[in-house]
Structure 1
Amino acid sequence: MSEWWTYRPSDFLLFSPRVYERLIETHNAALWPLQLVGLLLGLVLLAAVWRGRDGDARLALAALGVIVGWVGWSFLGQRYAAINWAAAYAALGFAAEAVALVAAGAALRAPLSMPSALRRATALLLIAVAVVAYPLLAPLDGRSLASAETFAVMSEPTAIATLGALLPLRRRLALALGLVPLAWCLYAGMTLWTLGDAAAAAPLGTAALFLAALALGGRSRQASGERLRSR
């Protein structure tokens, strides 16, 4: 028996890059033209975060909950779990995230906390990447457009957009609601990196930006508040 330290991440993969690409193509073909609806919903989400109104935030959280639940069931549970046993557990995580988002959107009276300019800019950037840029990664990486991954259909862009939409919330709430999409970005990023897919940079970079924006944005607000109190 080989020593455990001799194993590489690729040794634990249960599928090849072509199998994964074919899985996405099949899922896209089955759901077309839902990808166009996802694009429209993503742009609406982007506009809601741009406006920064509390009412928009509540609706965005509730809508994201429905979308996350749908993606967890339709892709992770019904498709991806067939070639990756971990996806079945991820689908349960997405279901829990969906309930939490809907509950937060329904229960919170004033979920926004006037985020710093850094957090607001990062939020808009992540949503734009998920909705507009992520589907273009497939042809840029030499894959067909049929394997493009879109918001509200595939797990990675949906998780990225969710983290972006959470950034304007209070820091503790954003972190609590962001645990599942953050974990998925890390897992998906490592899986794509092991597959040799350049798209791995998107979910891994999103995780880093989300945590950095929460940390730095919070410090910036705290420092601003201290300066105002000292006057």
Structure 2
Amino acid sequence: MSEWWTYGLRDLLLFSPRTYYRLFELYNLEWWPLQILALALGVAVFVLLLRGGERAGRAIAVILVACWLWVAWGFHWQRYASINLAASYFAWAFAVQALLLLWSGVVRGRLTPAAVGRLQQYAGLGLFLFALLIFPLMGPLLGRSLTQAEVFGMAPDPTALATLGALLIAGSRPAWALFPIPVAWCLISGATLWAMDAPDFAVVPLAAILVVALAVGGAVMHARAGRSGK
């Protein structure tokens, strides 16, 4: 028997790319036309990000809580668990993220869009729009069926990316507790797609790394500005 360290990530993958993308197709067909509502909620979040204010921040948090809970149950628990033994743990992680968003965003109001650096603001809004409008089209552009599209609020990747985009605009003192789970999911998803030889495997991880770099950079600049102003 081969030693365990001789196995790579591709050897541990329990499903084929065809099975993986077929999962999204069956999921979308089962819940159609819920995707329209999900996209409408995404548009509402984008408008609220532009509007700003404490009430907008709490409304954004409420919508994101609903999206993370839905993906936890509707996708991970009900669908992904049928082909991936780790999906039940992913479901619990997404549920925990929903609780963190509830506490930080709804109760404490830490998701209020605030005055941040122009680069940080444009990057956050751009990432949110990418997750909402472009990400569902990536599959068809790569030759997959439109019925396999991954939609914000229903699929994990665009939901995580959109959340990171919103967090990037939530002030110069981000709620750091809200970052680990979306970032971790982006890295896991990227590793899964890499194991399947998907050409877009690097998109989600690189976007998450960029968000963290911009958030840390913005926090450092804010701290320096605060010290120099004393």
TM-score, normalised on structure 2? 0.92
What amino acid maps onto 2:13 in structure 1?
L
Q: C-alpha offsets along residues 148-182 of structure 1, whole Å, 9 cap, x if unaligned?
A: 11001111111111111112235664321121111
C-alpha distance in structure 2 between counterparts of 1:110 and 1:182, whole Å: 18
Q: Give distance in 2, aligned partners of 1:211 and 1:44.
A: 24
Alignment of 1:147-186 (within 5 A): 147-170=148-171, 173-186=174-187
Deviation at 1:206, TM superposition (A): 1.9
Q: Deviations over 1:119-159 (max 9, x none)?
A: 21221111111101101110111111111110011111111
Contact 2:72 2:91 in 1 (8 A): yes
In the TM superposition, 1:65-84 aligns within 5 A as 65-84=65-84
Root-mean-square deviation (Å): 1.8
2:132 matched to which residue of 1?
131
2:24 matches 1:24: yes
Q: Deviations over 1:1-52 (max 9, x none)?
A: 2233422211000000000011110000001111111111111111211222
**Matched position secondary structure for 2:41:** helix
Provide the identity percentage: 41
1:200 correspondence with 2:201? yes
Instruction: Name the SS for the 1:115 alignment partner.
Output: coil
AA aligned to 2:155 is: M
TM-score in terms of structure 1 length: 0.92
Aligned partner of 2:50 in structure 1 is: 50
Distance between the aligned counterparts of 1:123 and 1:91, measured in 2?
A: 25
1:73-108 alpha-carbon deviations (Å, 9 max, x no partner): 000010001100111101001111111212223322
CA contact (8 A) 1:167 1:174 kept: no
**Counterpart AA for 1:202:** V
| Count of aligned residue pairs for this structure pair | 229
Report what 2:63 is aligned to.
Answer: 63
Moved more, 21-30 or 193-202: 193-202
Give the structure 1 partner of residue 41 of structure 2. Answer: 41
CA distance in 2: counterparts of 1:110 and 1:7, whole angstroms = 43
Contact 1:122 1:209 in 2 (8 A): no
1:106 match:
106
Gapped regions of structure 1 (runs ≥ 5): none
One-letter amino acid matched to 1:12 = L
Counterpart code for 2:103: A
One-letter identity of the residue aligned with 1:143: R
Q: Partner of 2:8 in structure 1?
A: 8
> CA contact under 8 A between 1:120 and 1:168: conserved in structure 2?
yes
Letter in 1 for 2:129: A
Distance in 2 of aligned mates of 1:54 and 1:201: 35
Q: Is the 8 A contact 2:111 2:167 kept in 1?
A: no
**1:200–1:171 CA distance, 2 compared to 1 (3 A):** farther
Per the TM alignment, residue 109 of structure 1 is displaced from its structure 2 partner at its CA by 4.5
Judge which range, 154-163 or 113-122, deviates more: 113-122
1:96 and 2:96 aligned: yes
C-alpha displacement at 1:200, in angstroms? 2.0
Higher helix fraction: Structure 1 or Structure 2?
Answer: 1
C-alpha contact 1:77 1:88 (8 A) present in aligned 2: yes
